[in-house]
Structure 1
Amino acid sequence: MDEDRTPDERLKRQRDDLQLLNQVMRHDIRNDLQLVGAYAELLDDHVDEEGERYLEIIKENTESAVTLTTTVRDLAQVMLREDAEPKQVSLDHVLSQQVEEVRSAYPEAVFTVEGSFPDEAVVADEMLSSVFRNLLQNAVQHNDETPPSIEVSAAVVEDTVEVRIADNGPGVPEHLREEVFGKGEKGLDSPGAGIGLYLVRSLVELYGGEVWIEDNDPKGAVFVVELDIAQ
């Protein structure tokens, strides 16, 4: 029984179980969801007008679930790491790549890059891409405007780089801004993007940085990520 194991043995068992869950999430569940999405696309020419509404709901929720499997995979990877140390990462390369990838995944949204991104290296690691991917996807998925509009900018502020991802959605009321990162009373059941934003804050804090939310003008929210410049 588990009670008979030493603390180290129980920890190893938990890590093994988490690794197995990560593999199942990454492979079996994700593959099944992608198959559902592919067959939904094939039904486009075989449903009537009313059926199109329902088919679109299937497509949207399947896409959302595939995105969730990626987030859970990334969160498990963070939890499974042992003594990982942040290193120097090119902010320009990672942020530019994620803007292009999310832009391709959401052609209905309008992405604007303000100016150029700083060429400084920041303190982070290979998971920094997950930070920006989740914030960019969140700006589209929780947007009630047509089209969703997202503006991305970054600038050096003293010895840090601030990345700002602004949207024209409904915004986040000030009293909920801690909860959407999974740190509030409701934890991962908090309103908003839930586990995706929990992963964002977990990673940014691991790098010694900060993430917060501001109001956008005239409407929407601005997610700000502050990362130290690598010395």
Structure 2
Amino acid sequence: MLDKVSLKKYKELEENSNMKELLFDILSHDLLNPAGIAMNFVELLNEKELDGESREFTRIIGRNIDKIIELINDIKTFSKCLSMKNLDTREINIEKVWENVIDELEPIIRKKKIKVKLESEKCIITGSMIIKEVFVNLLSNALKYSGPDTNIEVITKENHRNCYIEVRDEGSGIEDKYKESIFERFTRGDKQGVRGSGLGLAIVKSIVEMHQGKVWVEDNIPRGSIFKVILPKNEHAKESKSSPRISQHNSSRNG
């Protein structure tokens, strides 16, 4: 049993944790609303005939508002990860989650003229739907650092114990000295001029480790990076005998 001193400290920690969650909720609400309103005005300005300088100003304003919104959303997700004590688990079809993520990011895929190929085996894990944030962040990261007319491959494989996921891009790659630190908060691997909160890969690592998994990055020869994830499968799921399905998403896809 806890003694009175220990119990008091535990209650104080719990209250502090609840206060942090409340603070994050208030900050995100009070910051997201004005940011969204500001972006609406930027979009209205873009519909008007502007001279070159004014259009460049609105572009810069819009880009920085996007950055604020991305940071707020990443902080919300990361704080949610930190505050989660128990996962609300269910059976999750990894292939289906990836299909949904690619569909959601289709506008960015189209805009950047990048081909995204999904080669997947049906893999079922027991986990929380927050695992989707792992895939959103990994694909967003690959899109962010990939140039136009390049390829991104998403590969899922399985055996009787684990689900293996790879996201391969043809971007500028990551130096060896950053391969571990990029999974820490507010680290972006010296990617000058590239937008981002520096929380995306920290969120990935946090959620993967919640599921007793592992994540790391390797070089994609001859160019780019491969982010690899291992997730334990549902212990009751059987290894799929079906062949991998291959689908491709690119700028020419019809909605």
TM-score by length of 2: 0.77
Shift in Å, 1:222: 1.4
More helix by share: 1
User: Residue in 2 aligned with 1:173?
Assistant: 175
Task: Spell out, residue by residue over 1:115-172, the C-alpha distance to the aligned partner (whole angstroms, 9 max, x if none).
Answer: 3x222212421110111111111122234x2356432221224522221112222111
Task: Write the distance in 2 (CA, Å) between the matches of 1:17 and 1:226.
Answer: 34
> What's the CA shift string for 1:4-24, capped at 9, x where partnerless?
x93123212212222212312
- Separation in structure 1 between the aligned mates of residue 123 and residue 178 of structure 2, nearest angstrom: 33
Indicate whether 1:89 and 2:124 are aligned: no
CA RMSD, Structure 1 to Structure 2 (Å) = 2.2
CA distance in 2, matches of 1:26, 1:93: 30
Work out whether 1:139 is the aligned partner of 2:142.
yes
Q: Cα 1:151–1:63, aligned 2, differ >3 Å: closer, same or farther?
A: farther
Q: In the TM superposition, what are the counterparts of 1:104-143 in structure 2 within 5 Å?
A: 104-109=107-112, 110-115=114-119, 117-143=120-146
Q: Give the aligned partner of residue 203 of structure 1.
A: 207
1:191 matched to 2:188? The reply is yes
Tell me if structure 2 keeps the 8 A contact 1:86–1:207.
no
Cα distance in structure 1, aligned partners of 2:62 and 2:16: 35
Structure 1, unmatched stretches of 5+, are 183-187
Q: Is the 8 A contact 1:111 1:152 kept in 2?
A: no
Aligned residues: 220
Shift of 1:101: 0.7
Residues 1:216 and 2:220 are matched in the alignment: yes
- Looking at structure 1, the residues matched to 154 and 102 of structure 2 have their Cα atoms a distance apart, in angstroms, of 8
Helix, strand or coil: the match of 2:231? strand
2: distance between equivalents of 1:22 and 1:111? 37
TM-score by length of 1: 0.85
